Structure 1
Amino acid sequence: MREETKKGKRKEKKSRGRDVKEGKRGEERGDSSIFSKVKISMMQIVFSITYQWKDPLYVKVNKLTSTKTQLPYSYYSLPYCRPDTIVDSAENLGEVLRGDRIENSPYVFEMREPHMCQIVCKITLNDKDAKDLKEKIEDEYRVNMILDNLPLVVPVKRLEQDSPTVYQHGFHVGVKGQYTGVMKYHRDVQADLARIVGFEVKPFSVKHEYEGDWNGVNTRLSTCDPHAKRLVVNSDFPQEVEANKEIVFTYDVAFEESEVKWASRWDTYLLMTDDQIHWFSIVNSLMIVLFLSGMVAMIMLRTLYRDISKYNQLETQEEAQEETGWKLVHGDVFRPPAKSDLLCVYAGTGVQFFGMLLITMMFAVLGFLSPSNRGGLMTAMLLLWVFMGLFAGYSSARLYKMFKGTEWKKITLRTAFMFPGIVSGIFFVLNVLIWGQKSSGAVPFTTMFALVLLWFGISVPLVFVGSYVGFKKPAIEDPVKTNKIPRQIPEQAWYMNPIFSVLIGGILPFGAVFIELFFILTSIWLHQFYYIFGFLFLVFLILIVTCAEITIVLCYFQLCSEDYLWWWRSYLTSGSSALYLFLYATFYFFTKLEITKPVSGILYFGYMLIASYAFFVLTGTIGFYACFWFTRLIYSSVKID
């Protein structure tokens, strides 16, 4: 083993050069699969921690993940080397729900102290261990590690010469290829301190042999010469995974000074592989939607101005009797709809969801919800959902009182329990399936209890407070009086059929988000980082405008056809975009994912069903309130005797 000491900058520079050469020699070596020898190197750090020479660097291990099964497992569920005592790191609510299980490991390095063929432990596989390891390799599971809050990455060079290096999150339990390792740090020359700016690992497998009896980490390997800085044997013969076989785990560590600044530590992690396509698609979608929105707004303004001017100029009784169009149904347009209680519940829930998303995206755009804070996004969304219960109760109560409702406690209970209850039921069934697979992704009982406590202890009382305040306020007055006897609705044209109209209305809102939806699904199901919240916030604003405008247009056409049953149709028109979202999720499942196991497929469609249901509530509420504002505006602008 070579040791570096602080004997001047010249010797340090010379030693650093040798480390780089070691990495280059490793690239020329033909190494192959199954994690028996690990090379660990570094990339960036979230917290600005400076290290002196030989300061210890502690590597933590996280869950094993696979894009083929979507079932995470604990790192120590496989026969890997263990520390004397396994200590779980403190995890927030979002990390637990994501299935993160962060624990300590036996991998402890010294800052700027390279090692070659460092022995970690020796393990003899039994039948169960060999079977589990083979299954994880077949399912393409990846090992995830953390150093100073930086996730481990594996650099993968693209075939194109000018293309930047792509970084894969985690390394496969079993892989084949050429691998080397380099640990990077950024040095403060004046203070002679360093910050970790890189964490890379490139595993390969070799069937180690040793001389004499096993003597722990002091055993001399006959397959690796640390002084020659090379493997003695040809690594084309990897360690086999068989019962009663011994596996010797070793690792190499090399250091290299990097020009990467601490402030840019996450740039590599957040690099999108298809960034040009992403930018082009977003801009293209934005231009199309803005063009359609401008056209719709212009047509609506001109048409409404002409209608209102014409209606206000009618003076004689004969002219008034010849009224046609949307003014003719003024006596029925604000008649309470069927199932008005349910509409109030969904409207209030949609307001709660809208407030949660709006505030979450604002914080994300400002940089408070960086991926470096694992689980922070999900934790923030859950807490905001709980506190937004105040606005849910207020909105549902105000609408309920406008419909002449009197049992406000009943509507409050339904607002507080219906949507969360349905989602919790689906989530519980999925969690039972995950638990049956003995996956670390199963939510523990203590976390389930915490979620129920947030729901019943905070959200429900806030819904009651908001509902009480909303019901105490004066009822919203209609701009026109409602007739006692409902008017008969004339026969409608085929294109005004409710089902056809609703399905057509959902296309445009979905078209505004489906490109961004691809990247969101990729980040969730292919375990990639998503950090373009600026574009996401822009798409969210486009979605709001699109839902509002398409609902207003179709509502206007409906009223012109003398059909005054607009309440539910306005909600379903934009809400139907959730159907297209689920259909797209189904298309994504069969074209982009390689999930074959039934349980994994049920998990995918179960979670996407929850997402689609939430999207229905969100978009439906936006369309409903836009149409509600529109109808009140136009009927308060005309003279009605």
Structure 2
Amino acid sequence: MGHMRVSCCAIVVLFLQLARAFYVPGYSIKSYADDESIPLFVNKVFSDNTQIQHAYSELPFVCNPSGRPRPGTGLISGSNVALNLGEVLRGDRIMVSGYELAMGKDEEARYLCSQTIDRAALRNAIKIVKNGYVAEWIVDNLPGATSFVSVDKERKYYAAGFKMGYEDVSLDTGLPRYFLNNHVTIVIRHRRAPGKDGEHGRRVIVGFEVYAKSIEAENRDSSGLPTNLHNVRTGLELTMKQNSTNATTMDRNEEQAPIPDEFNFSDDGATLTIPYTYSVYFREDESIEWSNRWDLYFVNQDDSSKIHWLAIINSIIISGLLTIVVAVIFTRTIRGDIKGYKDGLEDGKLRPLKLGKIRSPRRSGEKGGLLEKVDSEMADDANSDDEIPEDITGWKLVHGDVFRQPAHGKLLAPLVGSGMQLVFMAVGLVALSCLGILNPSFRGGFVSVGMALFLIAGLCSGYFSARIYKTFGGSQWKHNAVVTATLFPGLLFATTFVLNLFVWAQASSTAIPLSTLIALVALWLLVQIPLVYAGSWYGFVRGGAYSHPIKANVIPRQIPQQAWHGRKVQAILLAGLVPFAVIFIELLFVFRSVFQDKSGYYYVFGFLAVISTILILAVMETTVIAVYIQLCSENYHWWWQSFFLGGASSIWIFAYCIYYYFYHLHITGYVSTGLFFAYSFLACVVYGLLTGTIGFLAAYAFVRRIYGAIKVD
């Protein structure tokens, strides 16, 4: 009871943390009065060229927090914002910035600070600019965006973030030069607030745009502002030859040469002063509803709706063909076989067919049902006329072995249990996303809610694992419960911890803090294990083993040589192609959203839900067809094979990840490359475990159904 109380308390704490960031579109509206302070938060910098992210506030060349309070907000510049679990895991590090914004108050030019950096900070700044990093700021839960116009110039859309700088090539030397964006123009789009707030003149924010510019350090007035903000001749080049109080101590050749790629400098005390300024403009925009203010971030996904429908049509066609094949197997082949047996039974005998010398049949101990009678007749006829009944071929020959316990079945049970846990989590996430509860403004919500669903699903994991474990003859259900609660989470945690060491070495915000790692271990010990234990007890004691219509014979039957397409590896690869073809087109959008789009969000969950449903059907039908073909080849080792057949498409997805890396991404660096492939592999393992479980359960139900229909008590 004590453990259960601790588990309940841990779950309550987790959900309270989720509730802090909970958001419902059209309900959680923040409105502002004129001249009311609007806090601007800085988050992180990220790039398409690397998997390493950095906290914006920790960059050595940006302005330090001012420490000034924000009136009316209760916030102080430089204070950190509490994050939920999902935000921490995705690398968010949100801090109140020193930028001061007031509703409706324009600022043509305002000085922020001047940051003096040494050579080490200069190397860091060049690395950030060279790798194409963009910064993410937040106002009213909207990420700062760069505005673009579609190709037909009819629609406007946003790309989250703004560039930290740009690279140019020197006309004199032909070598690269790097410029830092040290001025930002902030555009806040607003409209009248709905309801009573609007009647009192309050406004809501419907757009947050940031336009970055690089302005030289010279030609500034006494307040640090550039003399001409709109006609900038040169940008702020990241080199010590400009604006350095110690430039006279530098070697002349070093003064003229740009910084090489290896950034191999000696620390001679030289510095570079970077002035930061900003402009703020408020623009009324009644064309954007507050509830639709995120739509501009997803114009590209909306424009590709025709391709989404093409993906759905393609998936429906493939699934329809599979359904027809399965229907034929059930209605014509299997049902015809069963009908033939029953007709033969009514005649009092089975029609024999001359087949010559057959393989030695085996006798079992206690038998029952029609197939056992047939097996006995086969044995008698084999000793005399070398005849077997006409319809005793294919899958019917292995009736005495099809429910034989598989090798390493006590490992298969925890895998299936973990797969059911993932199925529960995935279905919950897709359903909540389709309902709009999980949306982009619920920052980190997808991961946080997914973690909560995964923990709760420990009950399902323990239940199914225990029942299958008992079906395979296991008796130590407590040991099985521990293995189930440890196998997949342990693999996931161990891999993440090792990868985290490399990310820590890069001083990246993606590195999971030690406190978060301890919290995850606590959730595993106090929530996951007790729930799996409870589910295992109920499944083993109350649920019991699954019943089989036919008992397994004592002596295993010899399996004939299989055709090339029926061998394990070939069958798995061929079976995996079909589900992969179902999701291939939609996979393009998911990959582009995760790895290429600056928004980093996948928004069209309605299409994903349809594709996921068709995918599940395709996995089930493909596995059933493949297992039926295998049984017809007199191969009764279908337990593990059905699991691998269901998860086979994960192999093709990982192969597509490799293709996508080389032909679509521009990731550089060994650490970033290792992170990409490691996390891609983990994602494919999760997907394979999920679909493998679905395939196993579909095949299990299919086998029990066909052999249960044959059995006669």
Q: TM-score range by the shorter chain?
A: 0.7 to 0.9
Q: Give ranges in structure 1 of 5+ residues lacking alignment.
A: 1-43, 225-229
1:223 aligned onto 2:227 = yes
Equivalent-residue separation in structure 2 for 1:221 and 1:630 (angstroms) = 76
- Structure 2 partner of 1:366: 435
Q: 1:517 to 1:540 in 2, by over 3 A?
A: same
Which digits, 9 at most, give the CA deviation of each residue in 1:9-49, with x for residues without a partner?
A: xxxxxxxxxxxxxxxxxxxxxxxxxxxxxxxxxxx999412
Equivalent-residue separation in structure 2 for 1:393 and 1:597 (angstroms) = 42
| Greater mean alpha carbon deviation, residues 403-412 or residues 241-250 | 241-250
1:262 aligned onto 2:290 = yes
Equivalent-residue separation in structure 2 for 1:117 and 1:546 (angstroms) = 59
Q: CA deviation at 1:268?
A: 1.0
- Structure 1 partner of 2:706: 634
- Structure 2 partner of 1:58: 39
Q: Check the 8 A contact 2:185/2:278 in 1, yes or no.
A: no
Q: Check the 8 A contact 1:312/1:639 in 2, yes or no.
A: no
Equivalent-residue separation in structure 2 for 1:343 and 1:542 (angstroms) = 26
Which digits, 9 at most, give the CA deviation of each residue in 1:545-570, with x for residues without a partner?
A: 01110111111111112211111111
Q: 1:46 to 1:64 in 2, by over 3 A?
A: farther
1:81 aligned onto 2:63 = yes
1:562 aligned onto 2:634 = yes
Question: Which 4+ stretches in 1 moved above 6 angstroms?
Answer: 176-180
What is the correspondence of 1:532-547 to structure 2 with a 5 Å cutoff? 532-547=604-619
Equivalent residue in structure 1 for 2:213, among 191, 204, 221: 204
- Structure 2 partner of 1:154: 146
| Greater mean alpha carbon deviation, residues 93-102 or residues 386-395 | 386-395
Q: Check the 8 A contact 2:630/2:636 in 1, yes or no.
A: yes
- Structure 2 partner of 1:347: 416
Which digits, 9 at most, give the CA deviation of each residue in 1:442-490, with x for residues without a partner?
A: 0000000011111111101111111111111332221112211112222
Q: Check the 8 A contact 2:57/2:95 in 1, yes or no.
A: no
**Which one-letter code corresponds to 1:638 in the other structure?**
I
Alignment partner of 1:269: what SS?
A: helix
- Structure 1 partner of 2:277: 250
**Which one-letter code corresponds to 1:417 in the other structure?**
T
Q: 1:121 to 1:220 in 2, by over 3 A?
A: closer
Q: CA deviation at 1:267?
A: 1.2
Which digits, 9 at most, give the CA deviation of each residue in 1:397-438, with x for residues without a partner?
A: 101111121121222221111111111111111100000101
Alignment partner of 1:309: what SS?
A: helix
1:240 aligned onto 2:237 = yes
- Structure 2 partner of 1:30: none
Q: Give ranges in structure 2 of 5+ residues lacking alignment.
A: 1-24, 68-77, 168-180, 241-270, 353-373, 379-388
| Greater mean alpha carbon deviation, residues 398-407 or residues 521-530 | 521-530
Q: Check the 8 A contact 1:45/1:149 in 2, yes or no.
A: no
- Structure 1 partner of 2:100: 108
- Structure 2 partner of 1:32: none
Alignment partner of 2:634: what SS?
A: coil
Equivalent-residue separation in structure 1 for 2:574 and 2:438 (angstroms) = 36
Equivalent-residue separation in structure 2 for 1:460 and 1:161 (angstroms) = 56
Alignment partner of 1:314: what SS?
A: helix
Equivalent-residue separation in structure 2 for 1:422 and 1:64 (angstroms) = 30
- Percent of aligned positions that are identical: 37
Which digits, 9 at most, give the CA deviation of each residue in 1:589-614, with x for residues without a partner?
A: 11111011000000000101111111
1:504 aligned onto 2:574 = yes
**Which one-letter code corresponds to 1:223 in the other structure?**
T
What is the correspondence of 1:16-55 to structure 2 with a 5 Å cutoff? 47-55=28-36
Q: Check the 8 A contact 2:315/2:583 in 1, yes or no.
A: no
Q: Check the 8 A contact 1:208/1:221 in 2, yes or no.
A: no
Q: 1:313 to 1:235 in 2, by over 3 A?
A: same
Q: CA deviation at 1:211?
A: 6.3
Equivalent-residue separation in structure 1 for 2:405 and 2:650 (angstroms) = 26
CA RMSD of aligned residues (A): 2.1
Q: CA deviation at 1:179?
A: 9.3
- Structure 2 partner of 1:290: 319
Q: CA deviation at 1:209?
A: 4.0
1:122 aligned onto 2:114 = yes
Q: CA deviation at 1:171?
A: 0.5
Alignment partner of 1:442: what SS?
A: coil
- Structure 1 partner of 2:126: 134
- Structure 1 partner of 2:243: none
Q: CA deviation at 1:198?
A: 0.8
Q: What TM-score do the two structures reach when normalised by structure 1?
A: 0.87
**Which one-letter code corresponds to 2:552 in the other structure?**
T
| Greater mean alpha carbon deviation, residues 164-173 or residues 277-286 | 277-286
1:67 aligned onto 2:48 = yes
Which digits, 9 at most, give the CA deviation of each residue in 1:256-307, with x for residues without a partner?
A: 1101111211111232355245324423333322332332233223322212
Which digits, 9 at most, give the CA deviation of each residue in 1:71-113, with x for residues without a partner?
A: 1101123221222232110100000000000001011111111
Equivalent residue in structure 1 for 2:336, among 276, 292, 306: 306
1:165 aligned onto 2:146 = no
Equivalent-residue separation in structure 2 for 1:143 and 1:610 (angstroms) = 28
Alignment partner of 2:100: what SS?
A: strand
**Which one-letter code corresponds to 2:322 in the other structure?**
S
1:394 aligned onto 2:398 = no
Equivalent residue in structure 2 for 1:592, among 664, 677, 699: 664
**Which one-letter code corresponds to 2:278 in the other structure?**
Y
